[in-house]
Amino acid sequence: MFLFRTAINKKIAGITRAGKDGVLFERQQEGREPQPLLLSYVEVMRLPISSSAISREQSIEQQVKHFTDNEKITALTRELATTRIALEFNNIAQVIFGSQVTLLVQLSSTHNGISKQQAVEIFEQAQATFPKLHKEKTFDDWIAYLYSNNLITYAENKIDITQFGTDFLKHLVDSRMAYNRYG
């Protein structure tokens, strides 16, 4: 095998297409860069997927089988958007500190947000209550998570909740994850 390593590597480099039906070798034309292989829609849909996904696909197909094509596109677009938001909310919920949720709840009960100083006081209370967790953090570190996840707006010493932040709080309540959180 070691003796044929160079020849095998050249042969592998010459593969232009590989699939369950075999391997296709083509000689590269001089001066042309190899083109990336793009799979067709049908080929992509044949790629291996879990049986759970296949079962879910079949269930969705049953639900929309009597819809027109436009109704299917609209319904599936809505479902995709809703599912992605729920996934994003669940990911945020796994990491967010209780003190950050406290800030969001306070913001949701105001008409125009709160001052930066009021938010700093919430952060300092979290530092006092959870010193090991927050001793290395600054207010800017703490608030950046909320801002980068589009839960708040932060401009000119004024902090307010976004619609996404309000929807996130509702998600916590609806999914029963609005319990007393650490941090």
Query: Which region among 41-45, 89-93, 104-108, 155-159 has the lowest average model confidence (pLDDT)?
Result: 41-45
160: helix, strand or coil: strand
- At 176, is the pLDDT very low, low, confident or very high (cuts 50, 70, 90)? confident
Q: What is the pLDDT of residue 178?
A: 74
The H helix count followed by the E strand count for the chain is 9, 5
Token representation of residue 132 = 């090991």
* Whether pLDDT at 21 is above 70: no
Residues 6+ apart with CB under 8 A from 33: none
> Across the chain, where does the E strand assignment appear?
15-19, 22-25, 114-115, 152-155, 158-161
Checking if the pLDDT of 80 tops 90, the result is yes
Tokens of residue 23, six digits = 């391997």
Whether residue 105 has pLDDT greater than 90: yes
Least confident span in 1-5, 52-56, 95-99? 1-5
On the question of pLDDT at 19 being above 80, the answer is no
